[in-house]
Amino acid sequence: MELASAHLHKGQVPWGGLLLTASLLASWSPPTTAEVTTEAVPPQVAEDNNVLLLVHNLPLALGAFAWYKGNPVSTNAEIVQFVTGTNKTTTGPAHSGRETVYSNGSLLIQRVTVKDTGVYTIEMTDENFRRTEATVQFHVHPLLLKPNITSNNSNPVEGDDSVSLTCESYTDPDNITYLWSRNGESLSEGDRLKLSEGNRTLTLLNVTRNDTGPYVCETRNPVSVNRSDPFSLNIIYGPDTPIISPSDIYLHPGSNLNLSCHAASNPPAQYFWLINEKPHASSQELFIPNITTNNSGTYTCFVNNSVTGLSRTTVKNITVLEPVTQPSLQVTNTTVKELDSVTLTCLSNDIGANIQWLFNSQSLQLTERMTLSQNNSILRIDPIKREDAGEYQCEISNPVSVKRSNSIKLDIIWEVTSEISQSTNPQPPTTIWLLLTTLLTRWMTSHTLS
Ligand SMILES: *[C@@H]1O[C@H](CO)[C@@H](O)[C@H](O)[C@H]1NC(C)=O
Ligand SMILES: *[C@@H]1O[C@H](CO)[C@@H](O)[C@H](O)[C@H]1NC(C)=O
Ligand SMILES: *[C@@H]1O[C@H](CO)[C@@H](O)[C@H](O)[C@H]1NC(C)=O
Ligand SMILES: *[C@@H]1O[C@H](CO)[C@@H](O)[C@H](O)[C@H]1NC(C)=O
Ligand SMILES: *[C@@H]1O[C@H](CO)[C@@H](O)[C@H](O)[C@H]1NC(C)=O
Ligand SMILES: *[C@@H]1O[C@H](CO)[C@@H](O)[C@H](O)[C@H]1NC(C)=O
Ligand SMILES: *[C@@H]1O[C@H](CO)[C@@H](O)[C@H](O)[C@H]1NC(C)=O
Ligand SMILES: *[C@@H]1O[C@H](CO)[C@@H](O)[C@H](O)[C@H]1NC(C)=O
Ligand SMILES: *[C@@H]1O[C@H](CO)[C@@H](O)[C@H](O)[C@H]1NC(C)=O
Ligand SMILES: *[C@@H]1O[C@H](CO)[C@@H](O)[C@H](O)[C@H]1NC(C)=O
Ligand SMILES: *[C@@H]1O[C@H](CO)[C@@H](O)[C@H](O)[C@H]1NC(C)=O
Ligand SMILES: *[C@@H]1O[C@H](CO)[C@@H](O)[C@H](O)[C@H]1NC(C)=O
C-alpha cells in the first residue's frame, strides 16, 4: 500500500490528501502551535493568598479572549475580556476587583476566598470569530484555626463509663483529616478505643485511670495544620487497697511509731487510723512518740473515696518488744578428755527468745554427736573429739535485738601413746577392725565438717 506510508511532496497531492486538508481548514486551528493547556498555580490555595491561572501556548492569531467563572459559560459570569489588537481590557459582571488579566492570557486572582473555589473558563476568539475554550480549576482552603477537644463526660468513672472526645475544628469540615495522640503517642483504633465521623470523634470504652491523657487532636487540610491544647480526663477511681509504710512490725520501747498510709484514688482518699479497732485519728500519717509495750496492737488504715463511695482497709499488727539482755555461757570444765562428753549451757532472762550457737565466731555446724535441748539453751557434745576444740558462744535474738554471750574456749586432751601402742602391737583381727573403725570415723567426721 503506497498511500498509507507515502510522504507527500509539494504539488503531488492525491485525492485523499485533498480531503484531509479541507477538513483541517474547516475547523480552525493555528497552523503550527501545540495544544492550549491551562494550569492553576497553586491548585490548592490557602485563603487570602493569590492564585495564577496560566495559559500555555495561547494562539498567536487571536482576536480576543475572555475569562468566565464556571463552565459552561454565561454572560453574567464573565470576569474580564481582552482584545489583543488594542490591548483593551473590559471587566465583566463577575469581576470582583481582585482579578488582573495579562496579554499572554493568564489571569491573576488575589486574596482568594473559599467562594472562589471552582472551575474557570477562558474563551478564545480568533480573527474569524471562531471560539474555542479551555478550563482550569483550583480549590481554596481556609487556614485551620486551633481545634478544641470536648468531652461528653467530664468525670468518668473507671470500669464503668465510656467517654467520647470530639475535635471541634471551627472551620469548614471538608478536606480536614484528624489525628489523635495521647501522651505524645499517636492513637489508632483498638479494643477499647474507637474512631468515628472520619476520625473526628474518639471513643474510649470502659475507661481506666491510664486513659487520663493528656490528649491532643491535630487537624490538617491541604494548606495548613493546627493542634488543640492538651486535654486531660478527670477519671474517678479507687481507692485501691492501702499500703502502710514502713513495713517493720516489731519496735522497741522508747522508739517512735511513725506510720504512713497510701491508697491510689481520685479524688484523693480520706484517711483514718484505728488502733485495736477503735478510731484514733483522721490523717494519712500516724505518729506516737516514745512507745511502750502497751502500744502493741492492731493498727488499721481505713481509706474512703467520697465520690465512688468505696472504702478499703489494711491491718498491721505492731509488737513492741524489749531488747534481749546478754546471755551467759557456762560449762562445767573447759578442759575435756577426748571421747568424754561436755555440756554447754546458755543462761538467759529472755524466755522464748531465739538461741543460736557459734563456734570460732561462725554459726555452729551440728554433727550427730551434738544435741540441743531446752529450746536450744543446752548444747551437749558426746563423745567430744579433738576437732571440737575452740571458742564457743551463744547468741540470743528477738525481732528487735541480738546479743552474744561471753566466749568459752574448750581444750581437748588426748593421750598420744595409746594409739601408737595399739598399732605397734599386732593382734591381726582386732587391729584391722580397730583401724577400719578409726578410718571410717575420720572419713565421716571430715565429710560432716566440710
Ligand atoms: C503571563 O504573564 C504573567 C505576568 O507577566 C506571568 O506571570 C506569567 O508567567 C505569564 N504566563 C505564561 C504562560 O508565560
Ligand atoms: C500591547 O501590549 C504589548 C505588550 O505589553 C505590546 O508589545 C504591544 O505593543 C501593545 N499593543 C498595543 C496596540 O498597544
Ligand atoms: C492555629 O490557629 C490559631 C488560631 O486559632 C492561630 O493563631 C495559629 O497561628 C494557628 N497555628 C498554625 C500552626 O497554623
Ligand atoms: C474550647 O473548649 C473550652 C472548654 O472545653 C471552652 O472554654 C473554649 O471556649 C472553647 N474554645 C472555643 C474557641 O470555642
Ligand atoms: C470494665 O473494666 C473493668 C476493669 O477495668 C472490668 O472489671 C469490667 O468488667 C469492664 N466492663 C465492661 C463492661 O467491659
Ligand atoms: C458518651 O459517649 C459514649 C460513647 O458514645 C456513651 O457510651 C456514653 O454514654 C456517653 N456519656 C454521656 C454522659 O453521655
Ligand atoms: C475537598 O472536599 C470536597 C468536598 O468534600 C471534595 O470534593 C474535594 O475532592 C476535596 N479536595 C481535596 C483536595 O481533598
Ligand atoms: C483515621 O485514622 C486512621 C489511623 O488511625 C487512618 O488509617 C484512617 O485513614 C483515618 N480515616 C480518615 C477518614 O481520615
Ligand atoms: C495502668 O498502667 C499500669 C502500668 O502500665 C498498669 O500496671 C496498670 O495495671 C494499669 N491500670 C489499669 C486500671 O489498667
Ligand atoms: C519515754 O517514756 C518513759 C516511760 O514510759 C520515760 O521514762 C521517758 O522519760 C520518756 N522519754 C521521753 C524522751 O519522753
Ligand atoms: C493480728 O492480730 C490479730 C489479733 O491479735 C490476729 O487475729 C491476726 O491474725 C493478726 N494478723 C496478722 C497478719 O498477724
Ligand atoms: C577438768 O578436767 C580435767 C581433765 O579431766 C581435770 O584434770 C581437771 O582437774 C578438771 N578441773 C576441774 C576444775 O574439775
Confidence of residue 439 (pLDDT cuts 50, 70, 90): low
Over 80: is that where the pLDDT of 436 sits?
A: no
CA 123 / ligand 1 centre spacing (Å): 18
Q: Domain range spanning residue 267?
A: 243-320
Listed residues 302, 320, 338: the one ending a domain: 320
From 222, 181, 225, 226, select the one nearest 199 (Cα to Cα): 181
CA 217 / ligand 7 centre spacing (Å): 21
Which residue's CA is minimally distant from atom 14 of ligand 4? 148
The reply to whether 189 and 223 lie within a common domain is: yes
The reply to whether 408 and 421 lie within a common domain is: no
Q: State the Cα–Cα distance between residues 190 and 204, nearest whole angstrom.
A: 10
| The pLDDT of residue 85 | 87
| The pLDDT of residue 437 | 63
Give domain status of residue 6, yes or no. Answer: no
175 in contact with ligand 6, CB cutoff 6 A: no
| The pLDDT of residue 419 | 52
The reply to whether 313 and 375 lie within a common domain is: no
Phi, psi of 148 (to 5 degrees): -130, 140
44 touches 141 (CB < 8 A): yes
The reply to whether 24 and 131 lie within a common domain is: yes
| The pLDDT of residue 261 | 96
| The pLDDT of residue 149 | 96
| The pLDDT of residue 434 | 58
The reply to whether 316 and 247 lie within a common domain is: yes
Q: State the Cα–Cα distance between residues 143 and 223, nearest whole angstrom.
A: 7
Q: With helix as H, strand as E and coil as C, how does 379-402 read?
A: EEECCCCHHHCEEEEEEEEECCEE
Give domain status of residue 233, yes or no. Answer: no
174 in contact with ligand 7, CB cutoff 6 A: yes
162 in contact with ligand 6, CB cutoff 6 A: yes
Identify the nearest ligand to the CA of 104 by its number.
1
pTM tops 0.85, yes or no: no
**Ligand 2 atom at minimum distance from 85 CA:** 13
Q: Which residues pair with 123 in a beta bridge?
A: 66, 133
3-state percent helix, strand, coil for the chain, nearest multiple of 5:
15, 45, 45
CATH at 189: 2.60.40.10
The reply to whether 341 and 271 lie within a common domain is: no
Task: Give per-residue pLDDT as tens, 27-75.
Answer: 444 444 578 999 999 999 999 999 999 999 988 888 899 999 998 999 9
Which residue's CA is minimally distant from atom 8 of ligand 4? 148
Task: Give per-residue pLDDT as tens, 224-234.
Answer: 999 999 999 99
293 in contact with ligand 10, CB cutoff 6 A: no
CA 444 / ligand 7 centre spacing (Å): 94
Give domain status of residue 302, yes or no. Answer: yes
298 in contact with ligand 11, CB cutoff 6 A: yes
The reply to whether 123 and 164 lie within a common domain is: no
Which residue's CA is minimally distant from atom 9 of ligand 2? 87
From 356, 315, 324, select the one nearest 252 (Cα to Cα): 324
Listed residues 167, 196, 227: the one ending a domain: 227
| The pLDDT of residue 112 | 96
Which residue's CA is minimally distant from atom 10 of ligand 11? 317
Q: Which residues pair with 150 in a beta bridge?
A: 166
The reply to whether 368 and 401 lie within a common domain is: yes
Residues lining ligand 3, Cβ inside 6 A: 145-146, 224-226
Which residue's CA is minimally distant from atom 10 of ligand 2? 87
Which residue's CA is minimally distant from atom 13 of ligand 12? 333
Over 50: is that where the pLDDT of 18 sits?
A: no
Domain count of the chain?
5
Q: Which three cell numbers stand for residue 220?
A: 490538617
Angle among Cα 92, 96, 98 to the nearest 5 degrees reads 115
- Which range has the worst mean pLDDT, 147-161, 305-319, 435-449? 435-449
CA 2 / ligand 6 centre spacing (Å): 81
Which residue's CA is minimally distant from atom 14 of ligand 7? 175
Phi, psi of 430 (to 5 degrees): -65, -45
CA 173 / ligand 7 centre spacing (Å): 10
Which residue's CA is minimally distant from atom 1 of ligand 3? 146
Confidence of residue 8 (pLDDT cuts 50, 70, 90): very low
Give domain status of residue 378, yes or no. Answer: yes
Listed residues 193, 227, 261: the one ending a domain: 227
The larger pLDDT score, comparing residue 114 to residue 429, is at 114
Q: Which residue has the cell 485511670?
A: 209
**Ligand 8 atom at minimum distance from 195 CA:** 1
Identify the nearest ligand to the CA of 244 by its number.
11
Over 80: is that where the pLDDT of 152 sits?
A: yes
84 touches 105 (CB < 8 A): no
Task: Give per-residue pLDDT as tens, 391-425.
Answer: 999 999 998 899 999 999 999 998 776 554 444 44
Q: State the Cα–Cα distance between residues 188 and 179, nearest whole angstrom.
A: 9
Identify the nearest ligand to the CA of 167 by its number.
4
